[in-house]
Amino acid sequence: MSEAFTLQVNGEERTCSPHTSLPTFLEQLGLNPRLVAVEYNGEILHRQFWEETEIKAGDRLEIVTIVGGG
């Protein structure tokens, strides 16, 4: 069994299990994947690629929550 690893999420260190997809990781953080935008290692990651993106050791994520209102 593989060990959990660390990555940066909004400047904070977090841990993740191997072979975790981006949407699963977002849910583990308590976020609704439909209501966030994600910068993955310095680039905006389009939603169509989220399911095939596995979180890896040393990744850097910036996650922005979409807020409605006026």
Lookup: tokens for 17:
């299990």
27: left (phi > 0), else alpha (psi -120 to 50), else beta?
alpha
Mean pLDDT value of segment 38-52: 96
**What is the percent of the chain with per-residue pLDDT over 90, rounded to a whole number?**
89
Token pair for 1: 């069994």
Higher pLDDT among residues 7 and 70, named by residue: 7
CA distance 17 to 67: 29
Is the predicted pLDDT of residue 25 greater than 70, yes or no?
A: yes
Q: Which domains does the chain have, with CATH numbers?
A: 5-65 (3.10.20.30)
| Cα atoms in the Cβ-side hemisphere of radius 13 Å centred on 46 | 2
Task: Give the E-state strand segments of 1-70 in sequence order.
Answer: 5-9, 12-16, 36-40, 43-44, 60-65
What pLDDT, on a 0 to 100 scale, did the predictor assign at position 62?
98
